[in-house]
Amino acid sequence: MQKRTLLLLRFVLILSTILVMTYSERDLNIASPGYAVALAYFISNLALYLIPETKFAVPAVSFAIFLTDLVAVSLAIYLSQGIQTDFYLIFFLIIFIASFAQDIRGSIPIAIVASIVYTWLVYRFNPGVSLMDSAILIKVPFLFIVSLISSYWATATRREIMERRKLETSARKLEDEVARITAEETELRRYSEMVINCVASGVIVVKDDGTITTINPEAARVLGVDQRDLTGRNIKSTQSLDMLWQKMAQAMNTNRSMERLQISIRNADNELVPIGLSLSPMHSPNTELSGCVGILRDLTEVKELERKLQHAERLSYLGKMATWVAHEIRNPLTAIDGFSQLLSYTRDPEKIEAFSKEIHRGTRRINHIIEDILTFARTRTRSGAVEIDLHRLMTEITEDIANVRVFIDGTAGAVVRGEEESLKSLFTNIITNSVEAMDKDPKIVVRFSKTKNWIVTEIVDNGRGISAENMQNLITPFFTTKSRGTGLGLAIVKKIVDDYQGKIEIKSEEGKGTTCRVYLPTQEDK
Amino acid sequence: MTPINPAGDDAPVLEPGLTKKRILICDDEEPIRLLLAEALQDSYDIVEAANGRDALRLATKEHIDLIIIDIKMPQVHGLEAIERIRERDSNVPIIICSAYPLMEDDIVVKTSDIAAFITKPIDIESLKSRITELIGR
């Protein structure tokens, strides 16, 4: 029991004592000794305020206090001659307070002492009283009963209070824990949001039903939408994101990541924005967590750079071409011009014929150069696509080659859809390169094979091969190692192969020969 | 039409002091060599080279009175050939005959004392008169 409560109850006790005393004397006589005791009792209680709280917790101290109470009350009864009065009730109060302050171990001794003091008082005022008198037979056991009941009640109440306090404490701890976890979670969410917002790429996350759970500022910028508007809404409700949703749905349905996709999305200004896209589906038994993560990149600048690069390359080609044309055409032109000058000085028919031949040779050479330029510059027309048997084409190309052994084998079903002219140009250039690279025992082997997607034409020669240094410049337009080459041959080959959406592989070993593999798509139905 | 002295190891080596002066024509284009040979063979001995390497070899081995040389050639490039010819012979007149204009700015050209530049196509009469100016007939 707290010091304050105990002392307060003692004041009630003192007041009750004074009250009963005054009532039993039927008169207020301040000078009577009972009042002196009550006053001392009152002052002693005030003095107890000076004792520190901790002392009250010591059982001996509180026991002494209650003994003092018994003595004081008994003394007051004794001095006021009031055993016949209601002083008896005061004992109940003491026992009651003692039960409160301590448990049954405190209240029972107090009850015993109270019973002894009370019995002594009864005997003192009624010397011949029987043990069977109600004053003893009823009242003494009653003191014990009250002591037991109040102790039991006080203990129960104390336990209840303690339990409630314990509960309150653990509830408070729980509350603190919840608050801490909530704060941590908020911090974590803010942190991950910050990370996602900082990422230079666009990030968009949707659930499998299309609800947007995350969209970072870069994604909103790239897609031309308002970030706050879109979070929590369904992607399907924004028409401009239809293409994005289709791809995301595809990734989720197939449960496969999709890398390096390119889509175009119309932004708020109605401009088509090229977007690079990588999609990763998220799968979880809990559908709440199933969805798709999209990483976006604005390709506008990349495309612009590509365009500029292509432009620069074109300009560079043009520059090279101009130089090349100057040189290549001027040589035959010089011959034509020179021999025609010589024609005017000679009458010798033999010379006239020889000079005319040279003039003709010069014009043919110029024409050849122009053909090459045109082939290189021409874009492939799709309209003339027919089925072409490469086996037949290759036979035609190689049959006119003198002094070179040519072997053609492999699948007879090497058929592609395309134009005769471009394919002829493609293989003629490769074969010409081989023929010009071979010195002794020239031999070319052409093999056809077929895979699921490709018709492969392999052309192997036993020529000089290509040095590692020249390999790097192999398809650069106007690069040549031949004295008469235009430098356009392999550039033309590459261009035609690209037009057919095919590919070319060239492997070479200096001094041993070159192997050239051309892959053309099996079905060119576009 | 037969070129007078085709380039090659087995080409006859002519001794200096004969009546005709000797001109080395170096060009990788056969028609150009033929043309120059036809134009000049009446007045001069002609030696031909199809690349810079052969030109160097001939210039070292034989007495040459004048060299007409192209620039863009395989194996030894024209400018390199000129540089190396000059290392051995600082006097032989060299005429550059090229399809590329503006060769005058090149450092090798500047330091090699080039007698004349001819840009293709060639005016045969003016070439002849320039050669006459340089070495006579």
Q: Over its length of 526 residues, how does chain A's per-residue pLDDT go in tens digits?
A: 678 888 888 888 888 888 877 777 656 567 777 788 888 888 888 888 888 888 877 878 878 888 888 888 888 777 776 666 677 778 888 888 887 777 777 778 888 888 888 888 778 777 777 777 776 777 778 878 888 888 888 888 888 989 999 999 999 999 999 999 999 999 998 998 899 888 889 999 999 889 998 899 999 888 888 888 888 889 988 888 888 999 999 999 888 899 888 898 887 788 888 999 999 998 777 666 789 999 999 898 888 888 888 888 878 877 877 877 777 788 899 999 999 999 998 889 999 999 999 999 999 989 988 887 787 776 555 556 788 888 888 888 888 787 888 888 877 778 888 888 888 888 988 998 888 888 888 889 999 988 888 889 999 998 888 887 777 777 666 666 665 566 777 888 888 888 888 999 998 888 888 999 999 988 644 4
Is pTM beyond 0.90? Reply is no
Cα B131 from Cα B67, distance rounded (Å): 10
- Split at pLDDT 50, 70, 90, the class of B12 is very low
User: How many cross-chain Cβ pairs, A to B, lie less than 8 Å apart?
Assistant: 70
For residue B64, what pLDDT is reported?
Answer: 93
Instruction: Report the 10 Å Cβ neighbour count for A278.
Output: 16
Cα A176 from Cα A180, distance rounded (Å): 6
CA B65 to chain A, closest CA, distance in angstroms equals 23
For residue B119 the two structure tokens come to: 């840009």
Residue A206 belongs to what H/E stretch? strand A202-207
Q: Which of A325, A329, A330 to mutate to test the interface with B (most CBs of B within 10 A)?
A: A330
- Split at pLDDT 50, 70, 90, the class of B68 is very high
* Any B CB within 8 A of A339 CB: yes
* Any B CB within 8 A of A368 CB: no
Cis peptide before A59 (omega within 30 of 0): no
Cα A480 from Cα A436, distance rounded (Å): 12
pLDDT at B13 over 70: no
Nearest CA in chain B to A481: B74
Residues 48-67 of B with CB under 8 A from A: 50-51
* Any A CB within 8 A of B99 CB: yes
State whether residue A257 is helix, strand or coil.
coil
Residues of B in contact with A358 (CB under 8 A): 31, 34-35
CA proximity to A361, closest of A342, A336, A338 = A336
* Any A CB within 8 A of B118 CB: no
Cα A191 from Cα A178, distance rounded (Å): 19
Taking an 8 Å cut-off on Cβ atoms, the answer to whether B72 and A342 are in contact is no
Taking an 8 Å cut-off on Cβ atoms, the answer to whether A335 and B35 are in contact is yes
Q: Which of B2, B27, B28, B34 to mutate to test the interface with A (most CBs of A within 10 A)?
A: B34
Of B1, B51, B124, the CB nearest to A338: B124
pLDDT-above-70 percentage for chain B: 82
CA A477 to chain B, closest CA, distance in angstroms equals 17
* Any A CB within 8 A of B12 CB: no
* Any B CB within 8 A of A481 CB: yes
For residue B26, what pLDDT is reported?
Answer: 94
* Any A CB within 8 A of B121 CB: yes
Contact A144, A118 (CB under 8 A): no
At a CB cut-off of 8 Å and minimum separation 6, what does A257 contact?
A251, A278, A279, A280, A281
Instruction: Report the 10 Å Cβ neighbour count for A141.
Output: 11
Q: Which of B38, B70, B126 to mutate to test the interface with A (most CBs of A within 10 A)?
A: B38
Residues 19-38 of B with CB under 8 A from A: 28-29, 31-32, 34-36, 38
Of B29, B73, B121, the CB nearest to A337: B121
For residue B9, what pLDDT is reported?
Answer: 45
CA A366 to chain B, closest CA, distance in angstroms equals 13
For residue B125, what pLDDT is reported?
Answer: 92
pLDDT tens-digit readout, B96-110:
988 876 666 677 777
At a CB cut-off of 8 Å and minimum separation 6, what does A392 contact?
none
Q: What is the DSSP letter of A133?
A: S
pLDDT at B29 over 50: yes
Residues of B in contact with A360 (CB under 8 A): none
For residue A483, what pLDDT is reported?
Answer: 57
* Structural domains in chain B, sorted by start: 22-135 (3.40.50.2300)
CA A329 to chain B, closest CA, distance in angstroms equals 9
Residues of B in contact with A484 (CB under 8 A): 29
CA-to-CA dists, residue A387 to A189, A265, A423, A499, A508, angstroms: 62, 38, 11, 16, 31
For residue A484, what pLDDT is reported?
Answer: 58
For residue B3, what pLDDT is reported?
Answer: 43
For residue B103, what pLDDT is reported?
Answer: 62
Residues of A in contact with B32 (CB under 8 A): 331, 334-335, 338
Taking an 8 Å cut-off on Cβ atoms, the answer to whether A331 and B31 are in contact is yes
CA-to-CA dists, residue A375 to A236, A435, A494, B97, angstroms: 49, 21, 12, 31
Taking an 8 Å cut-off on Cβ atoms, the answer to whether A337 and B51 are in contact is no
Taking an 8 Å cut-off on Cβ atoms, the answer to whether B51 and A342 are in contact is no
Q: C-alpha B41: how far from its chain's center?
A: 13
CA B124 to chain A, closest CA, distance in angstroms equals 7
For residue A524, what pLDDT is reported?
Answer: 43
For residue A486, what pLDDT is reported?
Answer: 65
Max CA distance (Å), chain A? 189
Half-sphere exposure of A512 (CA within 13 A, CB side): 4
